[in-house]
Structure 1
């Protein structure tokens, strides 16, 4: 028990990285796991944090306003990190495209840029962009993109119902929305084509790799000499990408780690309850 407690406590100590990359939070959407992101930001520090688009979901906020306190908490946490010396860069995506009208502007210490080139600690150069400009649906058929967004919301609602039923039956978590999305993407070979085109854009810009978001499919892989990194999302996967001081990259899934943090809180509560009895 003591070893497990120490292991979990070690995991709770804030980890410091050279750079953190986060995208597709979709604040303003009921599907956003803003509480998970807030928890993640409490346990992770970095010299630079790059927000790789769709942090705020302007599309959904236009349809109906939804902005609980936890959304404010996430924004305030990022602003606080910026005030304390962390460089925070915001690259707008298609859902927060209203910010594309303010390239080069600073909001509370957060810098807005359309795209950027990141110099890795190992000397490699990475092109950073959201990636929606390479999504044919978003680029050429905005109406279809909105319809797809509505369909995804519907899938999320179905997912909540199914998850509740599966819990009652003692079955493990399974994401209908992620499965449905993956089936559609595979049907049109979307993910593979997106990755190929984005990697080629990095090559055209003389970069060794590319870091993007948009398709909610977290991965780190090499593609014909180009390192392709997708940060995933904070709707389902709750993933971020971290660069270590030596230039290596790590894909972090916070949903899995957060359970250990919860476990430690339970252990500490139990210790506190037992302490008076021991006295």
Structure 2
């Protein structure tokens, strides 16, 4: 049995469970490789917008069960709501055992303040025209499916994989401007509030960069996603790093072998265990 890497905090976002673009097995591999004190789920973990009864594979259920198991084992799970799982905002500030649901949170890390939130609050298209944003989400899902087929063909020919959506994002000036504006607004607000770190998701762009303006500085961090980039943020030994599943040499762990045997009843059992442990603590 391989030793799991100990990290103080692990941050993942934009997993989009329940969509074709989600790479649940890779995420399971990552979660099985770490032993965090806190796991921050920074929005869009379950894609309620595009949820389909006919598509929720066992590997996706297994991710949820894995998170429940981690909570049962003493890991503090902080679920920050995003736009694709905004229905959970009805339950903001709710705690079940080691799992808490919040819209945003500030944590003190070795004397420094870290501000966590998903980031959709800055997205005008979502705030003012949700139907348009949802329509864009469906188009993105189709693009991911097409990309998978193209990559399968490229693999058969022994060629390197290609990301259509990344190519489109990087070639469209308005997309680049949106990303830059998002990072600037988040960083300026963090500086104004006196936070040393601002940690977001939402735009699927992993990044760690010192941001400065005339009022001060902050470190902007984005956890990326598990649709294209397969990235997470990790905090250990008073510093942050971006974990990249495709490049990081510390990824040599496995996805659970029992995915094929995973059933909904197993997920319910995991939730029940979390509830039972909560009751024991109260008694």
Equivalent runs, 1:62-211 vs 2, <5 Å: 65-107=54-96, 109-121=98-110, 123-184=111-172, 186-187=174-175, 189-211=177-199
What is the TM-score when the length of structure 2 is the normalising length? 0.83
* Structure possessing the higher radius of gyration over alpha carbons: 1
1:42 corresponds to which residue? 32
Indicate how the Cα distance of structure 1 residues 213 and 86 shifts in structure 2: closer, same or farther if over 3 A, else same.
same
Cα deviation 1:216-244 (Å, max 9, x = unaligned): 00010011011000000001111000001
Q: CA RMSD in A?
A: 2.1
Higher strand share: 2
What stretches of structure 1 move > 6 A for 4+ residues in a row? none
Report if aligned partners of 1:79, 1:108 keep a CA contact under 8 Å in 2.
no
Report if aligned partners of 1:56, 1:95 keep a CA contact under 8 Å in 2.
yes
Q: Which has the higher contact order (CA 8 A, sep 6+)?
A: 2
2:235 corresponds to which residue? 243
- CA–CA distance in 2 between the matches of 1:234 and 1:142? 23
1:214 corresponds to which residue? 202
- CA–CA distance in 2 between the matches of 1:27 and 1:111? 19
What is the TM-score when the length of structure 1 is the normalising length? 0.84
Indicate how the Cα distance of structure 1 residues 259 and 136 shifts in structure 2: closer, same or farther if over 3 A, else same.
same
Cα deviation 1:76-108 (Å, max 9, x = unaligned): 111111111111100010000011011121245
Equivalent runs, 1:251-262 vs 2, <5 Å: 251-257=242-248, 261=252
Report if aligned partners of 2:33, 2:253 keep a CA contact under 8 Å in 1.
no
Cα deviation 1:35-87 (Å, max 9, x = unaligned): 111111111111111110000000111x5542111122111111111111111
- CA–CA distance in 2 between the matches of 1:156 and 1:220? 25
- CA–CA distance in 2 between the matches of 1:183 and 1:148? 18
Cα deviation 1:179-237 (Å, max 9, x = unaligned): 12333365561110000011122123221120010000001001101100000000111
Could you list the runs of 5+ residues in structure 2 that have no partner in the other structure?
A: 255-283
